[in-house]
Chain A
Amino acid sequence: MSIAIIDYGMGNLRSVQKGLERVGFEAVVTRDPRSIEAAAGVVLPGVGAFGACMQNLSTYNLIDTVHRVVRSGKPFLGICLGMQLLFEESEEFGPVRGLGILPGKVVRFIDRPELKVPHMGWNAVHKRANPPHLEGVDDGAAVYFVHSYYVVPSDPSLTATTTVHGVEFTSSIYRGNVFASQFHPEKSQSVGLRLLENFGRVVTGRSDARAAGAASC
């Protein structure tokens, strides 16, 4: 049962693959639609500009694939741009249309003398929901961010965690089979690896005492 990491030419995928392997899950980097749709779980990574990411997804004919994978209900993890792309549009060199899978838009941190943009470094996530992906992740745990834009979901119930950088923004979302984070779990030390491990467990449907306790934490 392997996890497909979508390769659309944006970003270093090896860290994500190695992270998943480190916590015991097989992960394949691929841009083949059939392999992606056949996988037990899918990861959409992404770094760089929103428009360039959408362009590449289009060039590699992966837009429909992403829609189908999400609709299929199989576990889906978006990382960084891979979270932003799920929304309707971004103002980065925009407005640029996104995948429109989730309602809301992507906006830029406002430049101010005392606010560093891009938001780069370790910052705390505050839990607003309890998806299995965040099990074992403490409220206030530090994770690693690199971004200038952040999502603003139209539906507040999408927000799984918030983080403060000038403003309080949604740092991860959760809905059904989709979990996505603005931060990079593959660069977030043991906290990030725990999130990847949780995702792997969701994919393989493994259950144990820890997962069973998730609903109450």
Chain B
Amino acid sequence: MRLLRGEMEAATVYGDDPLEVGRRWLAEGAEYLHVVDLDGAVSGTRVNHDIIARLCGELSLPIEVGGGIRTVERAVELIEQGADRIIFGTVALTEPEIVREACRRLPGRVAVGIDARDGKVAIKGWTETSHADATEFARQCEDAGACRIIYTDISRDGTQEGVNLEYTSALARSIGIPVTASGGVGSLRDIENLRRREDAGIDAVIVGRALYTGAVRLGEAIAAAA
């Protein structure tokens, strides 16, 4: 009997008018919504907190939120507002005890987003590149109790040139928790390629720009991933 769900889930990234955009993806069949607070990620401000709360409360699908989550309190607040899962970024590298504590208080709800440039972890909204190796960092996050790694290859993000299959698969193979691939999906072919790496532990993919440009249609992406 097959025990792992292992189904690919296509999530989407929100753009300018969050609630309207969220409703559009919901209507097109999104299985998850991936919400990034860019202002929060860069400067840690609360400016987007209300709209995020509204998204979590109003849209009838699971939502994961990342960007500028730097305290356990903020993580708890988001889950209480209805977020399905929160994503730690910078703080997972600079203050791992916060991730550990959040995992303890919110089991199954804490993911870590690893954004990498040439295999090195980038932080603070991608404004800085650290010396930390992404795969090693992923292992540490798993040890801290994270339930998932969301791996974005920055050099591919927004390019629609295809995901970094090799590195993402290698990273996924070296840990036991599942990986969401992100960054560079430009066509259904990319999703099909990722689907073939499911056994490595990649069970979800985030599609961003390609959905907004129309290069990929969400309904077709979901079908390609099934």
Residues of A within 8 A of B (CB): 12, 14-15, 18-19, 22, 112, 114-116, 118, 120-123, 144, 146, 148, 164-166, 186-190, 192-193
Contact = CB atoms under 8 A, between A and B. Distances in A.
Given A12-B81, A18-B58, A120-B84, 16 more contacts: A12-B80, A14-B58, A15-B56, A15-B59, A15-B82, A112-B3, A120-B108, A120-B147, A121-B5, A122-B5, A123-B5, A144-B61, A186-B60, A188-B60, A189-B29, A192-B60
The secondary-structure label for the interface of chain A is mixed
Contacts of A144: 61-62
Contacts of A123: 5
A45 B170 CA distance: 41
B33 to A, nearest CB: 11
A187 B61 contact: yes
B4 interface: yes
B26 interface: yes
A18 B60 contact: yes
Nearest to B83: A12
Contacts of B82: 12, 14-15
B108 A114 contact: no
B9 interface: yes
Interface string B1-25: 1011101010000000000000000
Contacts of A148: 108
A62 to B, nearest CB: 20
A119 to B, nearest CB: 9
A182 B166 CA distance: 38
Nearest to A120: B108
Given A118-B108, A146-B84, A146-B108, A15 B60 contact: yes
Contacts of B219: none
Q: How large is the interface on B (under 10, 10 to 19, 20 to 34, 35 or more residues)?
A: 20 to 34
Contacts of B58: 14-15, 18
Closest 3 CB pairs of A and B: A14-B57, A12-B82, A118-B108
Contacts of A166: 1, 3
B31 interface: yes
A22 B4 CA distance: 33
A22 to B, nearest CB: 7
B75 to A, nearest CB: 15
A115 B1 CA distance: 11
A189 B7 CA distance: 17
Contacts of A114: 3-4
Contacts of A164: 1
Contacts of B3: 112, 114-115, 165-166
B26 to A, nearest CB: 7
A166 B4 CA distance: 8
A187 B7 contact: no
Contacts of A165: 3, 5
Contact of A122 (B4, B7, B59, B107): B7
11 contacts: A12-B56, A15-B57, A22-B60, A118-B107, A121-B5, A122-B5, A122-B7, A187-B84, A188-B61, A189-B31, A193-B60
A19 B80 contact: no
A18 B84 contact: no
Nearest to B82: A12
A142 B42 CA distance: 37
Interface in B55-71: 56-62
A144 B30 CA distance: 12
A12 B4 CA distance: 28
A170 B108 CA distance: 22
A22 B23 CA distance: 12
B99 to A, nearest CB: 18
A91 to B, nearest CB: 17
A126 B120 CA distance: 45
A146 B109 CA distance: 10
Nearest to B23: A22
A18 B58 CA distance: 6
